[in-house]
Amino acid sequence: MDVVTGGLSYIGKYFTKRLVTNGKPVRILTGHPNRPNPFGNQVSILPFNFDNEQELIRNLQGAETLYNTYWVRFDHGTVSFNKAVENTKRLIRAAEAAGVRKLVHLSVSNPSEDSPYPYFRGKAILEKLIAQSKLPYAIIRPTLVYGGEEEILVSNITWLLRRFPIFAVPAPGSNRVQPIFVDDLAEMAIDAARNVNNKIIDAAGPEIFTFEEMIRLIKNKIKSRSILFHASPSLSLFLLKIVGIMTSDVVLTPDELGALMDNLLVSKNPPVGKTQLSDWLDRNGDKLGRRYANEMNRHFR
C-alpha cells in the first residue's frame, strides 16, 4: 500500500492515478474526506487527523511509500503556512513511528529559510527536517506546474485571455519561468520512490520562457485578441484583485508575484521533464480556460 496526502487535490490526484494504474492499493489522507472517491475500490479515503497523533500513525501503518503533496497556497481563516509547517512536522514524526519505508515529499523550486515568501521559507524548513529524520526520502522541487482542468495558473491565464480585452504583464515581463507538466511530475515522483538513495530532484520542464513569452505563446495558441501591456507589479496585483472580487477567489498572491519577479520558477539544473508546453497547448488549447479554476471553491467552500 502507498499513502498520498492531498490525493484528491490537483497534483495529488495525478500521483494517485499513476499508482492505481500501476496496480497499487492507495490510501488517501485529505482535508475533504467526504468528497466523492473518483478512483474506486482500489483507493480508501481518510481524514488527515493531524491533531490525533495515534490515529495518524495508524493511518500510515503498512505504507511502503508516503507521497506528501499536502500544503497551502495562502493563509485563510484557520489555514496558514505556519500551521501547514507544524502539521507536516506531525506527519513526518508519524511516518517514522509507523515504519514508512520511503517519503516522497513535494517541495518547491529554490526554497530558502531566508526567503521573504512564507511558501518558499516553509518548504525549506521542512526539507531540512526531512533530511534530519530517520526516513529514506526523495524531495521533489517543481517549478511551475501546468496541465489538467484543475490547474490554477496556466488555465486561469487562458481564461483571462479568452474573456478580457486587455492583459497586464507585470513589468518588465522578462522574468523567467520553466513550466513542468503535471503528469511528468507524477512520473518523477513514482520513479523516485523506487530509488533506494536519498535524492533532491528539481522538477522542471524542457522549455524556459520569459513570462511575457509564455503569455504570448498561450495567446497565440488560443487565438486570443486580448491586448498585452506592461504594468507595474502593484498595478498588476490591483487588477487581479478586481478579477478576484468578480470570481470570489484569490487569483494571484503577492508572494506568488514576488517569486515570479525574483526568478524562482526556474531550475539551475538540467531539465528532467519531457513534455513541452508549446506542444501540449497544440493538443489542449481548444478546451483550456473554458471555465475558471476557483481555488476558494476547491478548498474552503
In this model, does residue 4 exceed pLDDT 90? yes
Q: What pLDDT digit, counting tens, does each position of 218-259 carry?
A: 999 999 999 999 999 999 999 999 999 999 999 999 999 999
Alpha helices in the chain (DSSP H): 10-21, 53-60, 81-98, 118-132, 153-163, 182-194, 211-221, 233-247, 254-261, 277-284, 295-300
In this structure, what are the phi and psi dihedrals at residue 19, rounded to the nearest 5 degrees? -65, -45
Sheet of strand 2-5: strand arrangement: 43-47, 26-30, 2-5, 65-68, 102-106, 137-142, 199-203
Burial class of residue 71, CB neighbours in 10 A (0-12, 13-18, 19+): buried
- Taking residues 37-64, report their average pLDDT: 94
pLDDT tens, position by position, 149-206: 678 889 999 999 999 999 999 999 899 999 999 999 999 999 999 988 999 999 999 9
pLDDT tens-digit map of 18-45: 999 999 899 999 999 999 999 988 899 9
C-alpha cell at 289: 480556460
In the chain, the percentage of residues whose pLDDT exceeds 90 is: 93
pTM (two decimals): 0.95
Q: Indicate the burial class of 109 (C-beta count within 10 angstroms; 0-12, 13-18, 19 or more).
A: buried
- 256 phi, psi to nearest 5 deg: -65, -40
Q: Is 88 within 8 Å of 124 (Cβ atoms)?
A: no
* Of residues 135, 105, 104, 103, the one with CA closest to residue 122: 105
- Does residue 298 surpass a pLDDT of 90? no
- Rounded Cα distance between 261 and 259, Å, is 5
C-alpha–C-alpha distance, residues 21 and 17, integer Å: 6
The residues spanned by each domain of the chain are 2-145+178-203, 147-177+207-265+275-300
| Residue 37 grid coordinates | 472517491
Average pLDDT estimate for 134-146: 97
Residue 96, class by beta-carbon neighbours within 10 Å (0-12 exposed, 13-18 middle, 19+ buried)? middle
Look at residue 52 and tell me whether its pLDDT is greater than 80: yes
Residue 196: the pLDDT is 85
CATH of 2-145+178-203, one of 3.20.20.70, 3.90.1170.50, 3.40.50.10490, 3.40.50.720: 3.40.50.720
When computed from its CA atoms, the radius of gyration of the chain, rounded to whole angstroms, is 19
Question: What's residue 199's pLDDT?
Answer: 95
**Which amino acid is it at 187?**
E
